[in-house]
A = this chain, B = another copy of it.
Amino acid sequence: MLSRTELLRGDFLHVFRDQVRLPDGATAQREYVVHPGAVMVVPLLSVSDRAAQIVLERQYRYPVRRTIIEFPAGKIDSGEDTWVCAQRELREETGYIASEWARAGVLHPVVAYSTEFIEVWFARGLSAGERQLDAGEFLDVFSASSEQLMDWCRTGEVTDAKTMVGALWLQNWLHGAWALDWRAVQSEGGGA
């Protein structure tokens, strides 16, 4: 990196342009969105022989002009632990509190023009409670089977990349190919 210019400080999007040195010595520009990072939760209502009942959301997403089926997800608050964020987002968006959590991994939704990463968490031992949506947030919470989710990924009913990555994790975990390391929540709503 040779120099940096702030191109845009919007209410939501924060964009920079950096002057960079390439491997061949030439200079080039890189424009990208700076994002605090996010978490996504795969909430398991029940699990039986290679299938699960999961919690999903249906939400109108303005940039793509359509209603999108997604796993619960949200941005990390400044300084917030990602596990605490996962618990907060699940509770706020769906009302559910989970007794056990496992961190599956991390994904980068758009490596070409955003710093965003999304940590993928699994949650089980769910108990229902009250949602606390942000102002201006409108979303439907519903449950579906893992088979239904896979079918929606195949047919194009589900197109959200993070949710499809959640489906990849869910499928491989349910089939015993990928392992999850579960940890119990010590106090309701708090960390370990």
Interface residues of A (CB under 8 A from B): 7-8, 10-13, 15, 17-18, 20, 22-24, 26, 28-33, 61-64, 68, 70, 105-118, 136, 138, 150, 153-154, 156, 159-162, 164-165, 167-168, 171-172, 177-178
**B residues less than 8 Å from A30 (CB atoms):** 12, 62-63
Q: This chain: how many copies in the complex?
A: 2
**B residues less than 8 Å from A18 (CB atoms):** 62
**B residues less than 8 Å from A15 (CB atoms):** 8, 10, 13, 15
Given contacts A161-B165, A165-B161, contact A68 B108 (CB under 8 A): yes
Contact: A113 with B168, CB < 8 Å? no
**Interface of A: prevailing SS:** mixed
Contact: A63 with B156, CB < 8 Å? no
Selected from B10, B70, B108, B156, the residue in CB contact (under 8 A) with A161 is: B108
**B residues less than 8 Å from A63 (CB atoms):** 30, 32-33, 110-115
Contact: A164 with B107, CB < 8 Å? yes
Given contacts A109-B161, A136-B26, contact A64 B117 (CB under 8 A): yes
